Amino acid sequence: MQILTKEGIALAYKDSGTNYPAIVLVHGWGCDHTVFAAQEKFFGNTHRVITVDLRGHGESDAPEGSYTMAEFADDLAWLCHKLSLVKPVLVGHSMGGNVLLELAARYPDTPDALILIDSVLFPSQTLLNTLRPLAEALTGPGYLEAYRMAMSSLFLSADDEEKKTSLISYIPRAPQHVLLSSFIHHLMDYDPASAASGCHVPIAYLGATVPLADLFYFKGLTPQLMVGQTLGSGHFSPVFVPDQIHAMIVDFMKVYVQ
Query: Could you tell me the mean pLDDT of each successive run of 10 residues in the chain, 258 residues long?
Result: 96 87 96 96 93 97 96 97 94 97 96 97 89 94 94 88 89 95 93 94 94 93 96 93 97 88
CA distances in angstroms from 161 to 126, 133, 152, 166, listed in the order given = 29, 27, 11, 9
| Alpha-helical regions (H) of 138-211 | 143-152, 161-170, 176-183, 193-197
Choose among 239, 214, 224, 199: nearest CA to 93: 239
Q: Strand, coil or helix: what is 227?
A: strand
DSSP structure class, residue 202: -
Q: Is the pTM of this model over 0.75?
A: yes
Q: How far apart are CA 256 and CA 5, in angstroms?
A: 33
The CA-to-CA distance between both ends of the chain, in Å, stands at: 29
Choose among 62, 77, 6, 16: nearest CA to 42: 16
State which residues form the domain around 212: 2-256
pLDDT of residue 19: 76
Q: How far apart are CA 65 and CA 63, in angstroms?
A: 6
pLDDT of residue 91: 98
DSSP structure class, residue 182: H
What are the start-end ranges of the E strands in the chain? 2-6, 9-16, 23-26, 49-53, 89-93, 113-117, 203-207, 225-229
Q: What is the domain-level CATH number for residue 183?
A: 3.40.50.1820
Number of domains in the chain: 1
Output phi, psi for 53, to 5 deg: -105, 110
